[in-house]
Amino acid sequence: MKANPATGQTLIEAIKHEIEGREFYLALAKKVKNPLVRRKLLGLAEDELEHRVTLSRIYWAQTGSEVGNLDDFEVNVNLPDVQNMSLPDLLQLAMDTEKKAAATYMAMAEETEDARSAAFLEYLAEFEEGHYETLAAELAKIRSTPGWEDQGPSD
């Protein structure tokens, strides 16, 4: 079943969110020296890339048209000034964003009439909750172990 134009626009907004999320995690990964923390952040960036590709497939299934070249997508990436923010503040910002993303995906799942798309959107919501938990664990480690994010060589 084809979605209405509002659903297509919602999917485009979700794709933009995934692009912005990936850029944010890549920028954040450059800030930390600890290779374990960096690897987690790069893994989150990779997840965002996979999500945007899958969302574009859902868009096609729902609307019958292509999203377009995602690399040319006009996205307003308003990254925080990662160089002037503390890592705990950045992680908290990322956690807040992941919570909002999970809620958005659940709302989208409830609105779509396509059962397969709804199932994937629910999966994405759970995935974003997992991102939240990963970030929360990292934030707890940083707060309990001073200098944790700066351990290791810088690339």
Instruction: Render each residue's pLDDT in the chain as its tens digit; 155 residues.
Output: 455 556 677 788 788 888 888 988 898 888 877 888 889 889 999 999 999 888 888 888 878 888 766 555 555 556 677 777 888 888 898 899 899 889 988 998 888 777 777 888 898 899 999 999 999 998 998 889 887 766 655 44
Q: Using only C-alpha atoms, what is the Rg of the chain?
A: 17
Residue-number span of the structural domain to which 123 is assigned = 5-70+86-144
Whether the Cβ atoms of residue 109 and residue 118 lie closer than 8 Å to each other: yes
Cβ 11 vs Cβ 44: under 8 Å: no
Rounded to whole angstroms, the Cα distance separating 90 from 14 reads 21
In a domain, 41, yes or no: yes
Reduced to 3 states (helix: H, G, I; strand: E, B; else coil), residue 79 is coil
The one-character DSSP state at 146 is T
78 within domain boundaries: no
Q: Is residue 47 part of a domain?
A: yes
Instruction: Answer whether residue 152 is part of any domain.
Output: no
Q: Evaluate whether residue 12 is within a structural domain.
A: yes
Q: CATH number of the domain that 114 lies in?
A: 1.20.1260.10
Q: Is residue 52 part of a domain?
A: yes
Max Cα distance, the chain (Å):
53
| Predicted TM-score (pTM) above 0.85 | no
Q: Which residue has tokens 């890549």?
A: 26
